[in-house]
Amino acid sequence: MASRGRRGPVARFPAPLVLLILAVVCGVIVVVALPSREGDSRCQARTVADWRPDAGLTGAWSRYGDDPARTDDWTGGDGTHSLRLPDGRLLWLFSDTFLGGVHPPPGPDGQPHSWRDPGAPFVRNSAVLMGRSGQIERTVAAPLFPDTGVGEWRWPVAAAVEPRSPGADEQVVRVLLWTRATGTGPYLYGVPTATEVATLSLPDLRVENITQVLDQRQVPDPARRVLFGTTTVDEDGWTYVFGGDDGQAAVHRAYVARTPRGRLGDAKAWRFWDGRRWQA
CB 169 within 8 A of CB 163: yes
What is the rounded CA–CA span in Å between residue 93 and residue 81? 5
Does the pTM of the predicted model rise above 0.85? no
Cα end-to-end span (Å), the chain: 21
pLDDT at position 74 is: 94
Judged by DSSP in three states, 16 sits in coil
Kindly report, residue by residue over 189-233, the tens digit of the pLDDT. Answer: 899 999 999 999 999 999 999 999 999 999 999 999 999 999 999
Beta bridge partners of 211: 2, 197
CA atoms within 13 A on the CB side of 45: 9
pLDDT digits (tens, 9 = 90+) for 228-259: 999 999 999 999 999 999 877 777 889 999 99
**Can you list the residues of the chain whose pLDDT is less than 70?**
1-43
What pLDDT is recorded for position 41?
A: 59
Could you tell me which of 279, 230, 262 has the C-alpha nearest to residue 18? Answer: 230
Length of the chain: 280
Distance CA 268, CA 280 (A): 8
Q: Which residues does 18 contact at the CB level (< 8 Å), separation at least 6?
A: 45, 242, 254, 256
Backbone φ and ψ for 59, nearest 5 degrees, come out as -65, -40
